[in-house]
Amino acid sequence: MPVLYCLLMFLILFVDTLPFLSDIVSISNMFLSDNQVDYSSSYENIFVPSDNNGDTVDASDVDFPGINKQFGELNIKGRGVSSKLFFGDGAVPLRNGVGIYAGSFIPGYGKTILVAGHNNTYFNGLKNVEKGDIVSIKTSYGNYEYKITKTKIAGDGDKTAYDLSADKENLVMYTCYPFDELGLTQKRYFVYAEKVSGPEIVGLYD
């Protein structure tokens, strides 16, 4: 009878923890494995480096990215931030790099670009940034630079931390806070930057 009871309790515990096992294994692999997990088969890469540093690019020449597509690269020189840039901020983009929230805009649109990344991987280096640092974004249709103006810590549900209706192009990057803490936290670390250079997409509404 005691053996049967133990087996029954073990079965109940196993069933209760089953939904969390994949997350636990993923996190363990991320920190214990010497080999980086390759998720490249999960997404399409449409990024081809461009030499367009001009003032404009025609909308007809822009390959607008779909969800989970890599269409660029984001770098902050000397700050430990160097990542693939995706459209969308779900599991596939954030496993492989950083992602633009689909309710915001892509570079060149003249609006807010809201970019998310994990605090213990691709956006861990945000803790090193300083006012005046340059954020470089390369896309297939043009190259962009943004100057960091400030940083801010806000609650995870604070919608006032960014403005998606802004009428000028600006970059907002964010990650969970404190840095290096595992899992979702109750605070977010925001980095704000204003556009310095890069082509405006024209002919969007023609």
What integer pLDDT is reported at residue 2 of this predicted model? 56
What integer pLDDT is reported at residue 1 of this predicted model? 54
Q: Say what the pTM is.
A: 0.80
Q: Of all helices (H) and strands (E), which one includes residue 20?
A: helix 2-32
The catalytic residues are 118, 176
What integer pLDDT is reported at residue 205 of this predicted model? 78
What integer pLDDT is reported at residue 93 of this predicted model? 96
The C-alpha atoms of residue 9 and residue 80 are separated, in whole angstroms, by 47
Q: What percent of the chain has a predicted confidence (pLDDT) above 90?
A: 76
The C-alpha atoms of residue 189 and residue 152 are separated, in whole angstroms, by 6
What integer pLDDT is reported at residue 40 of this predicted model? 62
Name the stretches of the chain with pLDDT < 70: 1-41, 206
What integer pLDDT is reported at residue 181 of this predicted model? 85
What integer pLDDT is reported at residue 32 of this predicted model? 38
